[in-house]
Structure 1
Amino acid sequence: MNISHSTLSRRDFMKGLGLAGAGLGAVAASAPVFHDVDELTSLGSNVNKYPWYVKERDFKNPTVEIDWDTLERPNANNFKSHPRPSAADFTAAGVVGGNMTDLETPAEALALYDYCEKEFPGWDKGYAGAGDIRSTALDNACKFMMMGQWPAEIYQGGKRINVRNAILAAGGTATFSSFLGPQAATTIRPQDFGAAKWQGTPEENFKTLRNAFRFLGCQDVGCAEIDNDTVKFFHKIKGAGSGFNTGEAGGKQIAFKDIDEAYETADEYAIPNKCKYIITFTARQSFEGTRRQAGITESFSVWYCYARYVKMICHMQEFIRGLGYQCLNMSGLYFSNPLSVITGLGEHGRMSSPAIHPKNGTTNRANGWALLTDLPVAPTNPIDFGAYKFCETCGICADACPFGLIQKGESTWENPAAAKNGLAQGQFKGWRTNNTDCPHCPTCQGTCPFNSTSQSFIHDMVKATTTNLPMFNGFFANMERFMEYGRKPQWEFWDIEQPTYGFDTTA
């Protein structure tokens, strides 16, 4: 049974919750109260325009407990570690479309076929294991230059040219995105012409950056300052590439130094201590596309997100350079979930890799891309909208994982996957996905109850209630299961009117 929309009236829904009387009053009582226009307009802390029920917390005090003394900088970002099978290996096992595979083994690919066929009777894996021909075509189209990768062989001037190999032969890298940024000849720094760099207060600088980010396509922006604790979210050594970046060398040191200008060598990323301002932003992906992912890989919702936002990072690096400051791309050199949480872009949840956003749930790619800059920026605080508490009694994503890699049960200080991912025990009280074995299949992200459309009053009411009345969390999780609101058949995507870029910008 697949039900996309509820026919419950507001009145019946409230009665079902027991909120028609005192319960609703409790929610209403927690809403902010303003006594005059000046008081209303002076509320400057909600810089990302979150709903009223989202509360701010103190810096370094998110809803997930962190043992800052136990926490330490990891050596690398350890994800899938087994060797990538060849297309021939997949073909021999009966897996179609070997070049479409992501991080799974042939056995895992076959398990995903079986999973999708049972979840959506009538689903066809197609010629490449990613579903119907339209979904497969959009998947492949959206992979073009994703992750900032230079294309291999493409047509140029009527001939096939291997752009990637040409750039590597010239001493370049496999991606157009980089630690130091493009620093194109067209990006003019004011100090190069004897002019003063941009001068603004930290608050003005935050507003400036947020407007630039939103112009370029992101939704929310977070900021924090590096100190002896937050520096632990950045790796000491870069890990080797995996998946689409297989073959990318690891081992570079990530060093914070008392220097004036950042630099990169074959062995080191050198970061000036004055580049102590962390900038994060949300990278939204299609809600309808995310819940309709199926097959052996994630989908066009993910690939296009990676294609757009990596390019946007380059734009922001050039913009900040044009203001007269440094901007360093830390992609692959940090943990995104804790930086998202610390800077107020979401809460830690059971999936652990994506932070849960108050409006978009887990339909965000990483939800915490990080840049470092020496432009002083006002900080944003952690937030609380009840997601962490909700995850304690939910577990829908863990139940849905085809490979049982998402931690079940209550939040813990223990890391069940510590032996594989090399991360110490006791660093935070939460949940972990075993990313070392995770094949990045298309399942879990589409199941989160916090994913919702802006057109649903019921979901808005539920989110407000989970923040203020957590005793209803178990009921809401069970209702989500009963209504089957999460994942939907892949083929339905093509019958839905799609908003620009795949997501509703009014949300």
Structure 2
Amino acid sequence: PVPANGDDKRYPDPADQCLTLPEKRDLYLAWAKQQFPDWEPGINGHGPTRDEALWFASSTGGIGRYRIPGTQQMMSTMRLDGSTGGWGYYNLPPAAVWGGKYPRWEGTPEENTLMMRTVCQFFGYSSIGVMPITSNTKKLFFEKQIPFQFTPGDPGVFGGTGNVQFDVPLPKTPVPIVWEEVDKGYYNDQKIVIPNKANWVLTMTMPLPEDRFKRSLGWSCDASSMIAYPQVAFNGGRVQTFLKALGYQGLGGDMAMWGPGGAFGVMSGLSEQGRVANEISPKYGSATKGSNRLVCDLPMVPTKPIDAGIHKFCETCGICTTVCPSNAIQVGPPQWSNNRWDNTPGYLGYRLNWGRCVICTNCETYCPFFNMTNGSLIHNVVRSTVAATPVFN
């Protein structure tokens, strides 16, 4: 027990030892400035603008930092924490939180692209791409979307809409996605608005636990597959918060936003479409989930589509069709027909019969491009030559 008189030096008086948070901050900053005179502490002492933004984004989801530091909110709302005054009811940018002194980051498109690639990998994404929004690539966007997918309390995520209060009445049917000459993205019960200045889509894929994934059994996705979905939601929210802290918008933030994820991944050079209607990466194979996507007004350098021979290889491979328990995978060459109401029309490629899919992982784990360190049927050397060697096709 602690002595009542306080004489035992093993238990010093807390008043002699503890520092207040401002005292701790000032003590460290004084030391840091002495050691590194050119270091810029930023508004809160975490470093220059990008370091401050990374701290703010990294703390999102932690204890007491679900949204604004010191305020607790449902974790399910975190992924919507994106734009500078954008969707959801958290419209308070860091500039307001920190007394209006927070500087907007200004960098070249090349610097911004490298920065976002580094930040996304820091948060756990495997590959990052950038697709420019043009009159042609706008065709990849849904014509309409249901606004609740941009607001806290998505009915499909962690508890439903009963946990939150929406900014505006939400229709139960989709409303048009439109582009307008506005500063900030917004939604209402009539439309979902993207600013014309938001000219880039940032795409990101999430790696899967390879060893567990390779040995997974059971229907409705193994744990090694399911873990990617909350990670995408949470880490997408952190990337959005990073952009917001820099003074930019990241609109969307999940697998269900804006349009088919595979289309954005292919057009930003992350992957090619495989026979299972999934994305297959030259580097990570089929062992990824994505693509998560954010519509951004941060200038970045587009990453071009690739031709690694994967899509062509799938034409003559077909292993996935032999291990599918429900015959849900398309047999034969790529088609224009979408066959089912829940498949995306308008492109020549492969489609999955989602109504028959038992949601196992066979098609991905048996894929020759599944990226296991030592266990892939097509190892790294062969994988890199598939596109150029006719025998493999």
Instruction: Check if 1:421 corresponds to 2:345.
Output: no
Look up the match of 1:356: 280
Q: Is the 8 A contact 1:390 1:470 kept in 2?
A: no
Identical-residue share of aligned pairs (%): 30
Give a deviation string over 1:101-122, Cα, whole Å, max 9, x none.
xxxxxxxxxxxxxxxxxxxxxx
The match for 1:380 is 303
Q: 2:367 & 2:219 partners in 1: Cα distance?
A: 20
- Following superposition, the deviation at residue 389 of structure 1 comes to 1.3
Q: 1:299-318 residue pairs with structure 2 within 5 A? A: 299-318=222-241
C-alpha displacement of 1:234: 1.5
What is the match of residue 469 of structure 1?
389
Name the structure 2 match of 1:335: 260
User: How much does 1:376 deviate?
Assistant: 0.4
**Residue number in structure 1 paired with 2:321:** 398
Query: 1:274 aligns to what?
Result: 197
The aligned residue for residue 122 of structure 1 is none
Q: 1:231 aligns with which of 134, 138, 158?
A: 138
1:220 aligns with 2:127: yes
Residue 454 (structure 1) aligned with residue 370 (structure 2): no
Q: Give the partner amino acid of 1:445.
A: E
Gaps of 5+ in 1: 1-149, 151-170, 474-507
Shift of 1:255: 2.3
Please give the alpha-carbon distance, in whole angstroms, between the structure 2 residues aligned to 1:210 and 1:385.
21
Per-residue Cα deviation, 1:435-460 (whole angstroms, up to 9, x for no partner): 34434233322121101323469611
Q: Indicate conservation of the 8 Å contact 1:361/1:452, yes or no.
A: yes
> In structure 2, how many angstroms separate the alpha carbons of the residues matched to 1:355 and 1:220?
12
Whether the 8 Å CA contact 1:396–1:447 is kept in 2: the answer is yes
2:304 & 2:337 partners in 1: Cα distance? 26
Partner AA of 1:360 in structure 2: Y
- Residue 244 of structure 2 corresponds to 321
Structure of higher RCO (CA pairs closer than 8 Å, 6+ residues apart): 1
Aligned length: 298
**How much does 1:192 deviate?**
6.7
Q: Tell me the CA shift for residue 330 of structure 1.
A: 4.7
Structure 1 contact 386–470 (Cα < 8 Å) conserved = no
1:173 to 1:451, Cα distance in 2 relative to 1, 3 A: closer
CA contact (8 A) 1:205 1:375 kept: yes
Secondary structure at the aligned position of 2:194 is classed as: strand
Q: Is residue 190–residue 196 contact of structure 1 (8 Å, CA) maintained in 2?
A: no
Give 1:235's aligned amino acid. F
Q: Which residue of 2 aligns with 1:57?
A: none
> Structure 2 CA distance, aligned partners of 1:447 and 1:289?
14
| Residue 177 of structure 2 is aligned to residue 177 of structure 1 | no
Matches within 5 A, 1:38-437: 175-178=77-80, 180=82, 183=90, 187-188=94-95, 193=100, 196-238=103-145, 244=156, 249-331=172-254, 332-333=256-257, 334-352=259-277, 354-366=278-290, 368-417=291-340, 420-421=341-342, 423-424=344-345, 427-437=346-356
Q: Residue 434 and residue 423 in structure 1: after superposition, are their counterparts in 2 closer, same or farther (change >3 A)?
A: same
**2:117 aligned partner, one-letter code:** R
Structure 1 residue 213: Cα displacement? 0.8
In structure 2, how many angstroms separate the alpha carbons of the residues matched to 1:337 and 1:460? 23
Matched, 1:443 2:362: yes
Preserved CA contact (<8 Å) 1:179 1:329: no
Contact 1:281 1:369 in 2 (8 A): yes
How far apart in 1 are the matches of 2:94 and 2:101? Answer: 15
**SS of aligned partner of 1:428:** coil
Q: Are 1:177 and 1:314, in contact at CA under 8 Å, matched by a contact in 2?
A: yes
Q: Deviations over 1:8-43 (max 9, x none)?
A: xxxxxxxxxxxxxxxxxxxxxxxxxxxxxxxxxxxx
Amino acid in the other structure paired with 1:286: P
1:223 counterpart SS class: strand
**TM-score (ref. length: structure 2):** 0.68
In structure 2, relative to structure 1, the CA distance for the partners of 1:184 and 1:271 (3 Å cut) is closer
Relative distance call for 1:173 and 1:271 in structure 2 (3 A) is farther
CA distance in 2, matches of 1:190, 1:374: 21
> Which structure 2 residue ranges, 5 or more long, are not aligned?
1-60, 62-72, 162-171
Tell me the equivalent position of 2:49.
none
Residues 456 and 445 of structure 1: CA distance in aligned 2, closer, same or farther (over 3 Å): closer
Aligned-partner Cα distance in 2 for 1:338–1:452 = 22
Q: Residue 359 of structure 1 contacts residue 451 of structure 1 at CA under 8 Å; is this kept in 2? A: no
Change in CA separation of 1:412 and 1:393 when aligned onto 2, cut-off 3 Å: same
Contact 1:251 1:267 in 2 (8 A): no
Aligned-partner Cα distance in 2 for 1:192–1:321: 16
Rounded Cα–Cα distance in structure 2 between residues aligned with 1:196 and 1:179? 19
- Tell me the amino acid that sits aligned with residue 391 of structure 2: M
Distance in 2 (alpha carbons) for counterparts of 1:191 and 1:184:
14
Q: State the TM-score, normalized to the length of structure 1.
A: 0.53
How far apart, CA to CA, are the structure 2 residues paired with 1:264 and 1:180? Answer: 13
Alpha-carbon RMSD across the aligned residues, in angstroms, is 3.1
Aligned counterparts of 2:297 and 2:231: Cα–Cα separation in 1 = 25
Match of 2:4 in 1: none
2-side partners of 1:250 and 1:174: how far apart? Answer: 22
Counterparts of 1:270 and 1:439 in 2: how far apart (Å)? 36
CA distance in 1, matches of 2:203, 2:96: 23
Name the SS for the 1:206 alignment partner: helix
**Contact 1:385/1:466, CA 8 A, preserved across alignment:** yes
Q: In the TM superposition, what whole-angstrom CA distance separates every residue of 1:272-293 from its partner, at most 9, and x where no partner exists?
A: 1111211001211112222222
2:28 corresponds in structure 1 to none
Post-superposition Cα deviations, 1:220-243, rounded to whole Å, max 9, x if no partner, equal 210011111111211122259899
Q: Residues 232 and 330 of structure 1: is their aligned pair in 2 closer, same or farther, counting only changes over 3 Å?
A: farther
Distance 2:99 2:355 in 1: 46
